[in-house]
């Protein structure tokens, strides 16, 4: 009876503290008022939970620490069965009660697995301690939570071994038989015997170690909501509720024009209540592992952005301001008034605590998100802060003013005349939609959306010319929009000017619909991302294909073939918006492998780990005091492959790579390499 009462008191205390802590943490989510629907895609969410949550896939990008953390996680899942049984034992006549005793073979098997698992956890704790105290990777900052968590975990394993060792000193045949299945328990039993522990002492030690283990276990449960180790609880829900929008597309601002005209809150984010509950959950789930910062190209280039610190600053601000927002709301005070007073008193909001310079340093490449083991989303927060700065505060780097004006007036970032859009195709006899009859338009198989960079940049224009040669060789019926074409608005949106993006999108969608466009081809991954994944929110739903994928399909359909070429080594650079955003990795490689004599080699960082060129997120249009370091790191890896040619599939990446390479090896777009090697199919000869 006493045992039951003690356990009930311990359970009530532990679960009470755990519940109180979780209530306070979850209440912070309620302070964030922006809606965010994550209720769709159940099967995909379950699949992601199994792969990234239970399978721990995100950890294995760093094999050694990844395996260490994964083994600890899997082991704790196995040991949870034993923990529940030990707590249940306090309500029975035997402190060693286990539901698995009803199936003795199963119980024995679990005992063996449990011992091996606990030993594995103890070993991994030692490995983790060695990494933190001796190896000390730069991305791992000293952590009070780690200083508590690792010793606590080690003590839990040791008390389990000691408890079983003391129990196995009994002369009871049943227990002696069970000891055969517990190598660690048996080892500690022999240790006790060597120390001369006899008589009733083993039973006393068993009870002592049992309760010590229980106190440590329930203390750990009570501590979790108050520590950074909260991710043990929140990681799986955060993974389950991950972003499922195609291409990780940003959500549009609801009622944008109305909010802007009335100066209403909710245009981007500068205050806690302008965040969404999912953005707050991301902050609370952060494990402080530093992987995001270690993989950020801006951080590596010495720019004032470290994603981990950026998120931590937002989290700390949420902890400070969230309770005030909730208190004001419960008192009936408008939260914007309470926040205004707080901001006036402290000078703090989400922008000031994260730092304006860090906000503009982001290339939106998603390297941080791709490296996060618990799938925290960074880019959406960065865009919300930019939206607030641009559309509410009208505060942005000076070079963005002319950019926005040019996009508004002429539909391109440079302010060039619309008549210049087709100068690259003057001698190519390229069909233009406006010049075709309705009957001719009906026969058009493909709308070739050229894009601003390809239309106006002299280097990128060569890609368009190569693409036209490919389309004609494959006898694809296509047309371009000519001087009617306008910017997709990618740069405007990444730089926070959502209103300008919406206007550009509406104009393009009206143009596409007027010409009955269904399938759209684009060379630029940024155009592809915007047209394919972001225009549907504005009513523009089309089949959009990137040129690297389309060319691969032409080869697969035998509409193209390549002539024999001398052998050469080619390395492909994965653009961020093609790879990490849209998971298009194999098609460009398959296209290159279709060229006779070509042997693909890979850079050290490739596919989802590919290094950013530094032009994304609107950074193409910003002065870059340290930005050269981003492209330099990327090119250094590409050159390390000793490839004869660096292939790209993005008109932003290619000029930057080419400038940095400075003639040390050849650089070319996938389309250029294909166009050079074209051989007309037999039917067309």
Q: What is the pLDDT of residues 513-549, one digit of tens each?
A: 999 999 999 999 999 999 999 999 999 999 999 999 9
The tokens 């249940």 sit on which residue?
88
Same fold, 259-392 and 555-684: no
DSSP E strands: which ranges in 555-676?
561-562, 568-572, 598-601, 645-648, 666-669
CATH number of 555-684: 3.40.50
> 195 falls in which pLDDT band (50, 70, 90)?
confident
| 86 vs 94: CA distance, rounded Å | 10
CB atoms closer than 10 angstroms to residue 553? 15
Q: What is the DSSP letter of 423?
A: G
Residues 6+ apart with CB under 8 A from 531: 449, 488, 520, 522, 540, 542, 544
| CB distance 184 to 115 below 8 Å | yes
- Averaged pLDDT, 94-102: 60
In DSSP terms, 535 is beta-bridged to none
Domain boundaries, the chain: 2-22+63-226, 259-392, 413-550, 555-684
| CB distance 522 to 451 below 8 Å | yes
> 89 falls in which pLDDT band (50, 70, 90)?
confident
Residues 6+ apart with CB under 8 A from 85: 97, 98, 99, 100
Beginning with the edge strand found earlier in the chain, give each strand of the sheet holding 543-546 in spatial order: 478-479, 446-449, 519-522, 543-546
> What is the reported pTM?
0.89
Ramachandran angles phi, psi of 250, nearest 5°: -65, 145
| CB distance 643 to 569 below 8 Å | yes
CA 54 remoteness from chain centre: 17
- Pinpoint the alpha helices (H) of 388-489: 400-410, 438-442, 452-456, 458-473
CA dihedral sign, ordered 428, 430, 434, 440: positive
Whether residue 378 has pLDDT greater than 80: yes
Instruction: Tell me which of 682 and 28 has the higher pLDDT.
Output: 28
Ramachandran angles phi, psi of 355, nearest 5°: 95, 120
Q: Which of these, 49, 64, 472, 71, lies nearest to 241 by C-alpha position? A: 49
Whether residue 434 has pLDDT greater than 60: yes
Instruction: Indicate the CATH number of 413-550 among 1.10.3470, 3.40.50, 2.60.40, 3.40.109.
Output: 3.40.50
Could you please state the CATH topology (level 3) that the domain comprising 259-392 is classified under.
Fumarate Reductase Iron-sulfur Protein; Chain B, domain 2 (1.10.1060)
| 232 vs 227: CA distance, rounded Å | 10
> 92 falls in which pLDDT band (50, 70, 90)?
confident
Distances in Å between the Cα of 100 and the Cα atoms of 104, 189, 677 are 7, 23, 68
> 193 falls in which pLDDT band (50, 70, 90)?
confident
Q: Which of these, 157, 180, 172, lies nearest to 203 by C-alpha position? A: 172
- Averaged pLDDT, 643-658: 94
The tokens 């398959």 sit on which residue?
590
**Of 145-159, 309-323, 496-510, 651-665, minimum mean pLDDT range:** 145-159
| CB distance 565 to 595 below 8 Å | yes
pLDDT of residue 307: 94
Instruction: Tell me which of 400 and 266 has the higher pLDDT.
Output: 400
Token readout for 51 is 């792969």
Q: pLDDT over 90 for what percent of the chain?
A: 58
| 271 vs 321: CA distance, rounded Å | 9
**Of 57-66, 249-258, 378-387, 525-534, minimum mean pLDDT range:** 57-66
| 379 vs 177: CA distance, rounded Å | 58
Token readout for 501 is 């993006």
Q: At what angle do helices 307-330 and 2-31 cross, to 10 degrees?
A: 90
In the three-class reduction of DSSP (H, G, I as helix; E, B as strand; rest coil), residue 648 is classed as strand
| CB distance 291 to 347 below 8 Å | no
CA dihedral sign, ordered 203, 209, 211, 217: negative
**Of 107-111, 477-481, 532-536, 571-575, minimum mean pLDDT range:** 107-111
Q: Which of these, 315, 318, 296, 317, lies nearest to 306 by C-alpha position? A: 296
Token readout for 338 is 């309470």
Token readout for 578 is 């093609």
| 205 vs 668: CA distance, rounded Å | 73
In the three-class reduction of DSSP (H, G, I as helix; E, B as strand; rest coil), residue 598 is classed as strand
Name the burial class of residue 337, with classes exposed (0-12), middle (13-18) and buried (19+) by CB atoms within 10 angstroms of its CB: exposed
> 487 falls in which pLDDT band (50, 70, 90)?
very high
- Averaged pLDDT, 336-364: 77
| CB distance 468 to 446 below 8 Å | no
In whole numbers, what is the pLDDT of the chain averaged over residues? 88
Whether residue 459 has pLDDT greater than 90: yes
């Amino acid at each position: 009876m006493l045992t039951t009462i003690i356990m009930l008191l311990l359970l009530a205390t532990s679960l009470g503290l755990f519940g109180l802590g979780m209530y306070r943490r979850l209440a912070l989510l309620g302070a964030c008022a922006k809606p965010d629907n994550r209720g769709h895609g159940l099967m995909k969410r379950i699949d992601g939970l199994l792969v990234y949550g239970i399978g721990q896939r995100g950890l294995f990008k760093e094999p050694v620490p990844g395996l260490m953390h994964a083994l600890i996680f899997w082991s704790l899942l196995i040991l949870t069965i034993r923990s529940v049984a030990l707590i249940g034992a306090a309500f029975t006549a035997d402190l060693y009660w286990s539901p698995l005793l009803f199936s003795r073979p199963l119980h024995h098997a679990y005992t063996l697995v449990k011992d091996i698992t606990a030993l594995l956890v103890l070993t991994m704790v030692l490995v983790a301690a060695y990494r933190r105290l001796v190896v000390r990777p730069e991305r791992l900052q000293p952590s009070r939570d780690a200083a508590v968590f690792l010793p606590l975990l080690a003590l839990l394993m040791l008390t389990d071994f000691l408890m079983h060792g003391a129990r196995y000193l009994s002369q009871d045949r049943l227990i002696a038989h069970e000891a055969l299945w517990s190598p660690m328990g048996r080892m500690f039993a022999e240790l006790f015997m060597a120390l001369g522990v006899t008589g009733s002492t083993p039973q006393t030690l068993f009870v002592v170690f049992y309760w010590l283990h229980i106190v440590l276990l329930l203390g750990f449960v009570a501590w979790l909501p108050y520590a950074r180790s909260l991710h043990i609880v929140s990681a799986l829900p955060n993974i389950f509720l991950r972003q499922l929008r195609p291409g990780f597309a940003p959500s549009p601002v609801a009622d944008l024009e109305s909010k802007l005209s009335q100066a209403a809150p909710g245009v981007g984010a500068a205050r806690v209540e302008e965040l969404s509950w999912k953005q707050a959950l991301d902050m609370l789930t952060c494990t402080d592992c530093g992987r995001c910062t270690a993989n950020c190209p801006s951080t590596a280039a010495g720019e004032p952005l470290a994603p981990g610190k950026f998120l931590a600053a937002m989290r700390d601000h949420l902890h400070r301001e969230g309770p005030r927002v909730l208190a004001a709301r419960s008192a009936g005070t408008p939260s914007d008034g309470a926040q205004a007073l707080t901001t006036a008193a402290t000078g703090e909001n989400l922008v000031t605590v994260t730092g304006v310079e860090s906000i503009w340093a982001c290339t939106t490449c998603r390297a941080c998100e791709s490296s996060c083991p618990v799938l925290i989303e960074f880019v959406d927060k960065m865009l919300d802060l930019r939206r607030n700065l641009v559309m509410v505060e009208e505060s942005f780097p000076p070079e963005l003013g002319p950019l926005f004006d040019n996009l508004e007036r002429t539909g391109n970032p440079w302010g060039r005349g619309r008549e210049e859009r087709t100068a690259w195709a003057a001698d190519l006899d390229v069909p233009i939609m406006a010049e075709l009859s309705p009957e001719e338009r009906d026969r058009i198989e493909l709308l070739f959306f050229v894009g601003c960079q390809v239309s106006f940049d002299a280097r990128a224009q060569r890609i368009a010319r190569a693409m036209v040669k490919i389309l004609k060789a494959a006898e694809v019926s296509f047309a371009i929009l000519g001087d009617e074409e306008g910017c997709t608005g990618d740069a405007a949106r990444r730089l926070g000017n959502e209103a300008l993006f919406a206007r550009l999108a509406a104009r393009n969608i009206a143009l596409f619909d007027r010409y009955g466009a269904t399938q759209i081809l684009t060379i630029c991954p940024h155009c592809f991302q915007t047209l394919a994944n972001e225009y549907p929110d504005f009513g523009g739903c089309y089949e959009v294909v990137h040129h690297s994928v389309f060319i691969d399909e032409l080869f697969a359909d035998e509409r193209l073939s390549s002539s024999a070429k001398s052998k050469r080594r080619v390395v492909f650079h994965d653009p961020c918006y093609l790879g990490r955003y849209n998971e298009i990795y194999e098609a460009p490689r398959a296209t290159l492998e279709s060229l006779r004599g070509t042997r693909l080699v890979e850079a050290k960082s490739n596919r989802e780990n590919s290094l950013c060129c530094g032009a994304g997120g609107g950074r193409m249009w910003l002065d870059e005091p340290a930005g050269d370091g981003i492209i330099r790191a990327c090119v250094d890896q590409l050159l390390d492959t000793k490839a004869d040619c660096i292939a790209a599939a993005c008109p932003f990446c290619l000029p930057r790579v080419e400038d940095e390479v400075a003639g040390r090896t050849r650089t070319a777009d996938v389309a250029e390499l294909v166009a050079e090697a074209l051989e007309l199919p037999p039917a067309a000869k």
